[in-house]
Structure 1
Amino acid sequence: MSQTSTGAPSSADAAHGSGLHRNLRVWEVTALSVGFMGPVMAMSLNGIGVAGLVGKAVPFTFVVSFVGTLLVAYAFIRLTRYFTHAGSVYALAGATLGPRAGFFGGFALLGTYLFFSACIVGACAVFFDAMLGELGLALPGGGWIFVGLVSAAAALALNLRESTTTTRTLLAIGMVGIVAMLLLSVIVIARVATGSAPVSTGLDLSTLLPGDANLTAIMTASVFGFLSWAGFESGTSLGEETHDPKRTIPRALTYAVVLAGVIYTLVMFAQTIGYGTDADGVAAFAGASSTLTEISSTYIGPWFAVLISVIAFCVAFASLMSCSAAAARLVFALARDGFGPAALARTNPRTGAPSVATVTVIALTVLLVLLLAAIGGGPIEVYYWYATIATLCMVVAYGMASVGVIRHTFRPGSPIRRWETVVPTLGLAFLVYVYVVQVAGQEPPYSYFPWIAGAWCLLGLVVILAAPSLAQRIGARLTVEDLG
């Protein structure tokens, strides 16, 4: 720790002396990103809409989504080699595009995390009800709110502990979910390959090609696949709690994106051939309510479907933990630079957790859920409505990071070769396409959501334009700290 000539901590040290503990390693940061994505949750739901658009080309579409995600992830992987900060896009865009752009991107990402946290509370209720359904039980009317509140309270309790507790809990849940999915996939593929499956279309490798699906359908469907990676960047929020962050964070993000890509493609291949690749099989896939539980019951037995439903609920809970943890660190970073009450920048001296920010995030999450419940929304509405708003905010935040890495590439002395700008430029094009697909042709209430997301992002712009002193503080901190 450097000091001034008077022996007092320098401003850089004050920044790093924020109370966050640097005790995380690559696999723990990877666990946060994977936990946010919720692989079991994604694989239970996200292939259904894809099948309805592209037929049996679901695995190929997920490969396209994988490539799109890598293009978008490039900005985060590249920039975190040089900048580390609890604020993720807030800092990455701030260091490359300036403090106003950083705040705008960070505020958009905050909306992403808050709306996703509320969305995942709904998912916890949905999967808990599905778990009870597999056991022959059902939630009473309005019982989903109780499930959501308990899930939020449990996430709060764990996130207030040492960050290693959070990440190791996520790792344990994530590993169980991944192992269960991989086991199911191997059994499905083996049974189909040996002719002992309840379908007769066999091991159809043409599912790994576009087949009869046209380019427009594949690209549209790839947007739904891309949402399976939503939150991959959340590990960047642990940049100030990580050993050797400029090596650890980029590696962790790469591992999270690639691991998810391999698993998603395999699981989607198994599901597609498991349902069958003829017209009836595709229709069954597209009409499923939860593909993993249906496939489990068909290929292994009802007991495994019960196990998968339990794991799916646990994975949804892990995703809530990850999302709220990332949101809390972003709130902490913003408050540390003067946006919001100073109390939000406090940490627990024993655990190093940003405790006030964590409580605030959970409180706002619960408020969003109760707000929708008050106007008659159920857990499905909470899940899909807030997920759509969060996605629109996410595209804006990711876009700021992509623009930031392009700008950084052309700075004098930049270590990034200029030809590499092709990658984030393609990533930006993909993000624009994602946004258009989410907006075009929607009917109420989904046609309202772009306005809500836009209003949130506009609020961030108004704040930073109306408070030049805030931009000055942000710029000074990013300059002095050199972001790690």
Structure 2
Amino acid sequence: MSTRTLSGTLGVGSIVFMVVAAAAPLTVIAGTVPLGLAAGNGAAFPTTFALCMGVLLLFAVGFCAMSRHVPNAGAFYSYVQRGLGRAPGLGAAFLALVTYTAVQLAVFGYIGAVIDGLVQHWGGPALPWWVWSLVVLAVVGVLGYRHIELSGRVLGVLLVAEVAIVIVFDVVVAATGGGGTGQLSTAFLQPSQVVSGSLGIAIMFAIASFIGFEATAVFRDEARDPERTIPRATYTALLLIGVFYTLSSWAVVSAWGDAAAVEAAGADPGNMIITTITTVLGPIGGDVAQVLLMTSLFAAILSFHNVLARYWFALGNARSVFAACGRSHAKHGSPHVASLTQSGIALFFIVVFALAGMDPVAQVFAWMAGTATLGVLALMALTCTAVLVFFRSTRADTRAWHTLVAPALGLVGLLACLALTVANFPTLIGGSPALAAAIGAVLVLAFAVGALWSRRPATETIPAGGVA
């Protein structure tokens, strides 16, 4: 028999594994860092990660302060609804569904290309990218259907493996004085270098790398002690991701030298990291890194699937979508209907992309990742606003730093990042201004549809322990 509550005893570690895996650390080092070096602020790009982490820490202060006053698992949706009302809340929910689906589809495209390349490298047949994406979808669907603890264990193993090889690389570079260059990079410490090139594009690429850390709140119902676990997991995940990105990108620059790193990133961004790891750790290290890049992408897809399933579950419980999505499995305590719903949506779009003959990296990954970046920044700005309004109107918490200063500063930083992303959006998606405008219109439409949908009369009131 199905119920409408989720079960689990996730601790800080399990939730951190879940959301850090969504950020796909190795994928960021392999994909984003070369782009930031080549098109952003050059050898000082590592500092950009630290700057973005600072902005997001300010966001996290208000986010965590409000978490104890939002006893629901809807994350952005629940926060915005509690602070700004039902219409903006449901608008945020629909925007979140589009945003997280976009990032998941982006990774489906990327992993299909990566697996195909690995199979051919090992002497296997050349198959269309979407064949491998569908295989991954099937595995993710099974894991998402079952209890969250199983996904947590899988993600934990995969995350430790991908982070371990990069840390080994970092240590070797630091210990050998640049992995052979004889000098560690200091560009990240020089203000003139940090603001050189295109800082706006650098910030845009860096902020996109943090997508996923904010999803801690969607696991509230499955957390062991949500009022303590969620804030601790949020801060821990953000700090781990930010420090890892900053140090590892610095190690990449140091392994080449400042000028050579920028040149290598511009010449061959797709293979730069594998080449760098192979040079520093040897051919075996390079082969292992290629395999772990694949598992990193798989971990990201699984993590975002779990996040999306819980959004569908929250909306189903609130009767904002099909009520069946709000049912949980009697045995696994999982949002099984919501999980199947998300699997079906992903299947539909993969088939559409395949029939359209879209390139898995240049089109599927670039377009969908760009969409997700814009959507997440808008959602975080909305959430910051909701935090400020909620605490000003309720006085539920009167700590100035937690409820006013930090959220306000975070909002200013997020709006600045959003403005930079909008200005450079065609660059981010690798397409035309017309395509950028079309993607932006889809996001605006998603929010508008959700806001209009909220005007339907509520058919049932969800108790405080549910998801309203």
- Asked whether 1:394 is paired with 2:359, we answer no
Q: CA deviation at 1:285?
A: 2.9
Give the distance between the partners of 1:109 and 1:467, measured in 2 at CA.
15
* CA shift for structure 1 position 351: 0.2
Partner of residue 140, structure 1: 126
Matches of 1:186 and 1:130 in 2, distance apart?
Answer: 29
Provide, for residues 247-269 of structure 1, a one-character-per-residue CA deviation record: whole Å limited to 9, x for no partner: 11111111100011111111011
Structure 1 residue 130: Cα displacement: 4.3
* SS of structure 2 residue aligned to 1:57: helix
2:366 aligned partner: 384
Q: Distance in 2 between matches of 1:152 and 1:430?
A: 36
Q: 2:309·2:338 contact (CA, 8 Å) conserved in 1?
A: yes
Q: Which moved more, 1:450-459 or 1:287-296?
A: 450-459
Using the TM superposition, name which of 440-449 and 297-306 deviates more.
440-449
Kept in 1: contact 2:173–2:251 (CA 8 A): yes
Letter in 1 for 2:99: T
C-alpha separation between the residues in 1 aligned to 2:167 and 2:387? 35
Are residues 1:280 and 2:260 paired?
yes
CA contact (8 A) 1:348 1:355 kept: yes
Q: Single out whichever of 426-435 and 261-270 deviates more from structure 2.
A: 426-435
Alpha carbons 2:159, 2:296 under 8 Å: kept: yes
* Cα deviation 1:309-343 (Å, max 9, x = unaligned): 11110110010000011001101110111122222
Aligned 8 A contact 1:81 1:250 in 2: no
Q: What amino acid is aligned across from residue 253 of structure 1 in structure 2?
A: T
Equivalent of 1:340, from 315, 321, 329? 321
- Equivalent in the alignment of 1:328: 309
* Shift, 1:462, TM fit: 3.4
Alignment counterpart, residue 390 of structure 2, candidates 408, 413, 424: 408
| Cα deviation, residue 221, structure 1 | 0.5
CA contact (8 A) 1:85 1:238 kept: no
Q: How do 1:353-364 and structure 2 match up within 5 A?
A: 353-364=334-345
Determine the structure 1 residue equivalent to 2:350.
Answer: 369
Residues 429 and 370 of structure 1, relative CA distance in 2, 3 Å threshold: farther
Q: Distance in 2 between matches of 1:452 and 1:58?
A: 27
Matches within 5 A, 1:419-438: 419-420=401-402, 421-438=404-421
Identify if the C-alpha distance between structure 1 residues 483 and 345 changes in structure 2 by more than 3 Å, giving closer, same or farther. Answer: closer
The alignment status of 1:36 with 2:22, answered yes or no, reads yes
Q: Do the aligned partners of 2:72 and 2:465 also contact (CA within 8 Å) in 1?
A: no
User: In 2, Cα distance between the equivalents of 1:302 and 1:216?
Assistant: 34
Amino acid at match of 1:188: V
1:477 aligns with 2:457: no
Q: 1:114 and 2:76 equivalent?
A: no
Aligned-residue offset at 1:138: 6.8
SS at structure 2 position matched to 1:106: helix
User: CA offset at residue 213 of structure 1?
Assistant: 4.2
Q: Secondary structure at the match of 1:100?
A: helix
Provide the C-alpha distance between the structure 2 equivalents of 1:469 and 1:39, rounded to a whole number of angstroms.
41
Give yes or no for the alignment of 1:455 onto 2:437: no
Q: Which of 190, 195, 205 pairs up with 1:214?
A: 195
Is the 2:100–2:372 contact (alpha carbons within 8 Å) kept by the matching residues of 1? yes
1:456 Cα deviation (Å)?
A: 4.0
1:150 aligns with 2:135: yes
Asked if structure 1 preserves the Cα contact closer than 8 Å seen for 2:76 and 2:383, the reply is: yes
Matches within 5 A, 1:181-260: 181-192=166-177, 197-200=179-182, 202-214=183-195, 217-260=198-241
Assess, with a 3 A threshold, how the Cα gap between structure 1 residues 38 and 386 changes in structure 2: closer, same or farther: same
CA distance 1:360–1:205, change in 2 (3 Å): same
Which runs of 5 or more residues in structure 2 are unaligned?
Answer: none
The CA distance in 1 between the partners of 2:365 and 2:60, in whole Å, is 25
* Count of residues in correspondence between the two structures: 459
Aligned partners of 1:192 and 1:203 also within 8 Å: yes
Q: Give the CA deviation at 1:439.
A: 2.8
For the residues of structure 2 that align with 1:215 and 1:405, how far apart are their CA atoms? 35
Alpha-carbon deviation of 1:146? 0.6
Aligned residue for 1:468, secondary structure, equals: coil
Amino acid in the other structure paired with 2:208: L
Residue in 1 that maps onto 2:160? 175
Report what 2:34 is aligned to: 48
Change over 3 Å in CA distance of 1:212–1:462 after alignment to 2: closer
Equivalent residue of 2:135, what SS?
A: helix
Equivalent in the alignment of 1:7: none
Alignment partner, residue 95 of structure 1: 82
- The answer as to whether partners of 1:239 and 1:245 remain within 8 angstroms in 2 is yes
Shift of residue 236, structure 1, vs aligned partner = 1.2
Q: Does structure 2 conserve the Cα–Cα contact (< 8 Å) formed by 1:156 and 1:358? A: yes
Distance 2:238 2:341 in 1: 29
* CA distance in structure 2 between the partners assigned to 1:463 and 1:81 by the alignment: 25
Does the aligned pair in 2 maintain the 1:115–1:365 contact within 8 Å? no
Q: CA deviation at 1:72?
A: 3.0
- Compute the RMSD of aligned alpha carbons: 2.4
Displacement of 1:459: 3.8
Instruction: Report the Cα distance in structure 1 between the residues aligned to 2:200 and 2:450, rounded to whole angstroms.
Output: 36
Alignment identity in percent? 24
Structure 1 residue 141: Cα displacement: 5.0
Residues 41, 196 of structure 2: 8 Å contact kept: no
Which residue identity is paired with 2:205?
Answer: F
SS in 1 for 2:449: helix
The TM-score with structure 1 as length reference comes to 0.88
* Counterpart in the other structure of 1:439: 422
With structure 2 as the length reference, what TM-score do the two structures score?
A: 0.91
